[in-house]
């Protein structure tokens, strides 16, 4: 008799567990998109490009584009981290119960300033020595003419095309390229041969003579 009750109890518990598993809601996949902005000098919201938007604890994430827009695939209930150098890191949690499979968010980033101690580097022992040397400089007409020639429009244009980019420009180009790659992941990028704006830029550059070989002096 007791053995029969034990078997019946096990069967009831098994059915209860199976019903509980069936009642569990499936994991909801959502398209998490939005815009990241910051407060500019005039107090107005402005887009913040190249901001890291990552799902916490996973390898999924994206970069914001030049207009601050981002889009990625996430699960309901996951935590998304917004981070960028010079700004405070922010974490938000996607609601677990959503009616739609899309969730839009606008994140405002706050600057995080690191104050470093001031360091003044001078080639002279003191400011008094610098003043004496500066007042003793004899700027001849030849040096003045050379300075004006180096600042001429043609010379500055030549320097712009010959001097390599600095670290800031290189970083901006790399981050912009990475953001573009993330946007077009899994699909073909648009071809500029069919882009009328790209053709206009090419024709304007050709008319300006940007493709002409310059004589090296």
pLDDT band at 126 (very low <50, low <70, confident <90, very high): confident
* SS3 call for 210: coil
Q: Provide the mean pLDDT of the chain.
A: 79
Token couple for 210: 């940007």
**Weakest mean pLDDT among 3-7, 49-53, 77-81, 91-95:** 3-7
Taking Cα atoms as reference points, which of 47, 46, 57 lies closest to residue 91? 57
pLDDT band of residue 25 (cuts 50, 70, 90) is: low
More confident residue, 214 or 154: 154
Asked if 30 and 98 count as a contact pair (C-beta separation under 8 A), the reply is yes
- Asked whether the beta carbons of 198 and 189 are under 8 A apart, the reply is no
Domain locations along the chain: 29-109, 127-208
Of the candidates 5, 163, 37, the residue with the CA atom closest to the CA atom of residue 111 = 37
Distance spanning both ends of the chain, measured CA to CA: 109
CA distances from 217 to 44, 67, 152, 158, 197 (A): 49, 42, 16, 12, 35
The yes-or-no verdict on residue 13 having pLDDT over 60 is: no
Give burial (CB, 10 Å; 0-12/13-18/19+) of 182: middle
What's the whole-model pTM score? 0.46
64, 86 contact by CB (below 8 A): no
Following DSSP, what letter does each residue of 23-67 receive, concatenated?
Answer: HSPPPPEEEEEEEEEEE-TTS-EEE--S-EEEETTSS-EEE--TT
Q: Which residues pair with 217 in a beta bridge?
A: none
pLDDT of 157 higher than 60? yes
Say which range, 24-28, 106-110, 179-183, has the weakest mean pLDDT.
24-28
Give 158's pLDDT tier (boundaries 50, 70, 90).
confident
User: What pLDDT shows up at residue 21?
Assistant: 46
What is the per-residue pLDDT for 141?
A: 80
Predicted confidence (pLDDT) per residue in 35-86, tens digit: 999 998 888 899 999 999 999 999 899 989 989 999 999 999 999 999 998 8
Higher-confidence position of 31 and 14: 31
pLDDT at 20: 46
Q: Is 202 exposed, middle or buried (0-12, 13-18, 19+ CB in 10 A)?
A: middle
7-21, 82-96, 148-162: the lowest-pLDDT one: 7-21
Domain 29-109 falls under CATH 2.40.37.10: no
């Amino acid at each position: 008799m007791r053995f029969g009750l034990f078997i019946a109890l096990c069967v009831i518990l098994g059915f209860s567990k199976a019903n509980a598993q069936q009642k569990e809601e499936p994991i909801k996949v959502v398209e998490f998109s939005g815009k990241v902005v910051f407060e500019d000098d005039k107090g107005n919201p402005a887009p913040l490009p190249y901001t890291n938007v990552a799902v916490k604890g996973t390898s999924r994430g994206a970069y914001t584009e030049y207009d601050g827009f981002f889009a990625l695939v996430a699960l309901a209930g996951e935590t998304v981290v917004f981070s960028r150098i010079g700004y405070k890191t922010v974490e938000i949690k996607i609601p677990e119960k959503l009616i739609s499979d899309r969730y839009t968010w606008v994140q405002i980033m706050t600057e995080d300033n690191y104050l470093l101690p001031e360091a003044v580097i001078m080639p002279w022992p003191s400011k008094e020595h610098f003043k004496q040397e500066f007042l003793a400089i004899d700027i001849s007409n030849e040096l003045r003419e050379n300075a004006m020639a180096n600042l001429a429009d043609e010379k500055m244009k030549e320097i712009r095309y010959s001097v390599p980019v600095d670290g800031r420009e290189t970083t901006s180009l790399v981050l912009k390229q990475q953001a573009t790659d993330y946007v077009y992941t899994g699909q073909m990028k648009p071809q500029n041969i069919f882009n009328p704006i790209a053709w206009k830029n090419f024709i304007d550059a050709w008319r300006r003579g940007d493709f002409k070989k310059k004589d090296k002096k």
